[in-house]
Amino acid sequence: MPEGNIIHRIARIHRRWLLGRDFTADSPQGRFSEGARHLSGRALVSVDAHGKHLFHHFDGGVRLHIHLGLFGNLKHFRAGAASPSPTCRLRLSSPHATLHLSGPQACELLSPETEAELRARLGEDPLRPDASPSRAFTALRRGRTPLAVALLDQERISGVGNILRAEGLFLARLPPLRPASELRPAGFERLWEALRSLLEDAARDGRIVAPHAPPAPWEIPGRRREDRFSVYDRAGQPCPRCSTPISRRELASRALFFCPRCQKTPAAS
């Protein structure tokens, strides 16, 4: 599932390419035909991202909500758009830009009230200028669920997925299995800044490259850089800080990666 950096990057691309354009909308798959009729002929007036959710506002007060989920895919074409796939839920077409949306978890029109209710359920997003770290700290510390589980709860902090969880906790030197209620302000500040920095860099560059991550063996000078991680998906490989083998364990049906030495549980953090 795309993490918050990807959704914010998409929102930035759409603001640059699509704002102010009038679109013809249809649903090649047929599952969004009625919604497409409401969108067709309208201009896109704003695009916003909150965590893993994308919001497009069209003139006339029409609001489109997209959540890509596990299998969603957005394709963009400047000109000469390809034929839509059989799973294309929504096609937005204009003479200069076309968008194909396939396989989303959510593609729906919302009333202002329904959109407000949805946004109210979402946790603080480190990439949003209106984010409140203090509210995020309070939400994250609710209950004694492990910190690594709480971080994936989109009603606590929005936009964090499995990769950002692993890398953020490593950068903040926080034990992933510590109860969230035991998180201290200093540890949270390190975590919030690590997540914000990782998200911002990845939204800008299109790749997650964690500080301290070892070089990828396939990288070639001058080639577009690839994702590089310190702990995520590096089980058994040496920690870039202390050389201890990275651990992997299943937690709430998700793979968790961490350094058992750098992120061991101290008395307080």
Query: What is the pLDDT averaged over residues 224-237?
Result: 86
User: Is 75 an active-site residue?
Assistant: no
- Predicted local distance difference test score (pLDDT) of residue 224: 45
Contact 168, 157 (CB under 8 A): no
Asked if residue 146 and residue 117 are part of one domain, the reply reads: no
The percentage of residues in the chain with a pLDDT greater than 70, rounded to a whole number, is 94
Say yes or no: 98 and 166 in one domain.
Answer: no
To 10 degrees, the CA torsion angle through 203, 166, 132, 111? 60
The CA-CA-CA angle for residues 5, 7, 12, to 5°, reads 95
Examine the domain organization and report whether 142 and 204 are in the same domain.
Answer: yes
Residue 126 located in a structural domain:
no
Phi-psi region of 3 (alpha: psi -120 to 50; beta: other; left: phi over 0): beta
Identify the CATH number of the domain in which residue 75 sits. 3.20.190.10
Q: What is the pLDDT of residues 125-163, one digit of tens each?
A: 999 999 999 999 999 999 999 999 999 999 999 999 999
Q: Which of 98, 81, 100, 80 is nearest to 90 (CA)?
A: 100
pLDDT (tens digit, 9 = 90+) per residue, 15-48? 998 999 999 999 999 999 999 999 999 999 999 9
Q: List CB contacts of 223: < 8 A, sequence separation 6 or more.
A: none
Region 85-90 average pLDDT: 96
* Catalytic annotation present for 121: no
One domain, residues 111 and 23: yes
Domain co-membership, 182 together with 103:
no
225 band by pLDDT with thresholds 50, 70 and 90: low
Give catalytic status of residue 3 as yes or no: yes
> Within this chain, do residues 58 and 143 fall inside the same structural domain, yes or no?
no
Last residue of a domain, one of 72, 95, 121: 121
Q: Which two tokens stand for residue 5?
A: 């950096």
> At a CB cut-off of 8 Å and minimum separation 6, what does 12 contact?
203
Considering the entire predicted model, what is its pTM?
Answer: 0.91
CA-closest candidate to residue 184, choices 75, 267, 112, 68: 267
- pLDDT, average across residues 213-235: 73
Torsion 239-242-243-244 (CA) sign: negative
Beta strands in the chain (DSSP E): 22-26, 42-50, 53-58, 62-67, 73-77, 88-93, 98-102, 106-110, 247-251, 254-258
Say which of 42, 52, 141, 228 is annotated catalytic.
52
Residue 267 has pLDDT above 70, yes or no: no
CB of 176 closer than 8 Å to CB of 256? yes
Q: Does residue 265 form part of some domain?
A: no
Q: Are residues 106 and 154 in the same domain?
A: no
Same domain, 87 and 141: no
- State the total domains in the chain: 2
Q: Which domain holds residue 177?
A: 133-258
Residue 223 pLDDT class (50, 70, 90 cuts): very low
175 assigned to some structural domain: yes
Q: Are residues 200 and 169 in the same domain?
A: yes
Is residue 268 situated within a structural domain?
Answer: no
Candidates 3, 115, 124, 167; catalytic one = 3
Of 15, 245, 254, 260, the catalytic one is: 254
- The most distant pair of C-alpha atoms in the chain lies apart, rounded to whole Å, by 62
Catalytic residue among 2, 104, 126, 240: 2
The residue type found at 115 is E
Same domain, yes or no, for 106 and 159?
no
Q: Is 2 a catalytic residue?
A: yes
Q: Are residues 69 and 163 in the same domain?
A: no
Same domain, residue pair 177 and 70: no
